[in-house]
Amino acid sequence: MSGGFRSYDLVSRNLKKPSLPTPERLPQIQQAVKKIDADFIGLIDTHGWKRIFSLEELKKKFGYPYVFHTPLEDNRPEVPESGITVLSRFPVFNFETVRLHSRNAVKSIIDIEGRQVDIFTVYLDDLSEETRVSQVKALCNLMDKRKTIVMGDFNSILPEKVLELKIKWKLVLMMKPDFKKNPSFNTYFKPVFESLCNAQAINLLRKNGFLDARGQTKTNTFPTPLLPLNLPPLLQVDYIFHTPDLKVDINVPTEKLFNKASDHFPIVGIIKSPPNIP
């Protein structure tokens, strides 16, 4: 999402010029949040928001009574001032910044119909599947024995999607030969593709008992037309996972509004079974 800054280069992942005081695409993000109208929202890659906005300002801008945001504080020095912001209408017992190996995530303990549910909002590493595996291992070590949802940008694919991705990659290179001339092709896109094909991080979460709420949903989440490469949505890298004692259905809205808000389409989860923790 790059925090809504047009000055942030979504291809090179760097600021092309100094940041303006507020994100230029903030109105589109606000409209997208209002359109989705979810009781709990996780905003990923909120670049600079910890520095720019107070919690009270974010409450007013989005109309949510509970708000928390944290910077990633990634170990990689070249990673920009990114972060995660969560908004909730559900009463919140606690917000907490948790460390996933090399960067932060947000743990929210919320009240749904008088029951506690943990929601981890994550933004996993965008370059290395090995790092993402370490982040998922750290995540699993933080789990309590109660209903849990893990949501966000995993920057990873399911193992069963690897062959499909390789075919799509070849087709993109055949149909868009100029893509190889992009300055970030060899330094970013090619290494990212090769790392994606390792496809271990998501499987580790599944081995720890988590279910993929996407199920048979076919809609890919990345990229939207906001990414200036003229590519169709190629990848499913955004997920909602949950413990088996919950049932979560999802949809991926792809209306024009969401093309302008982020380079990822949002995923919207609906909890179908009420919590029943003693």
Q: How far is CA 121 from CA 87, 223, 237, 264, in A?
A: 11, 20, 14, 16
> Which residues, 6+ apart, have CB-to-CB distance to 150 below 8 Å?
119, 120, 122, 139, 205, 210, 239, 240, 241, 242
What's the confidence (pLDDT) of residue 3?
67
What's the confidence (pLDDT) of residue 91?
97
Superfamily of domain 2-271: Endonuclease/exonuclease/phosphatase (3.60.10.10)
Of the two residues 41 and 144, the one the predictor is more confident about is 41
Give yes or no for residue 246 having a pLDDT over 70.
yes
Q: How confident is the model at residue 76 (pLDDT cuts 50, 70, 90)?
A: confident
Helix axes 55-62, 26-36, angle to 10 degrees: 60
Question: What is the 8-class DSSP label of residue 78?
Answer: T
Mean pLDDT value of segment 215-225: 80
Question: What is the 8-class DSSP label of residue 10?
Answer: T
Burial of 265 (0-12, 13-18, 19+ CB in 10 A): buried
User: For the chain, how long is the longest CA-to-CA vector?
Assistant: 58
Mean pLDDT value of segment 217-223: 83
What's the confidence (pLDDT) of residue 184?
85
Buried/exposed 160-188: b ≥16 CB within 10 Å, e otherwise: ebeeebeebbeebeeeeeeeeebebbeeb
The structural domains of the chain, with segments of one domain joined by +, span 2-271
Give yes or no for residue 19 having a pLDDT over 80.
no
> Which residues, 6+ apart, have CB-to-CB distance to 264 below 8 Å?
1, 44, 153, 221, 222, 223, 224, 237, 238
Q: How confident is the model at residue 98 (pLDDT cuts 50, 70, 90)?
A: very high
What's the confidence (pLDDT) of residue 181?
87
E-state strands within the chain:
8-9, 14-15, 40-44, 66-71, 83-88, 92-100, 103-112, 115-123, 148-153, 211-212, 238-242, 248-251, 268-271
Residues in the chain: 278
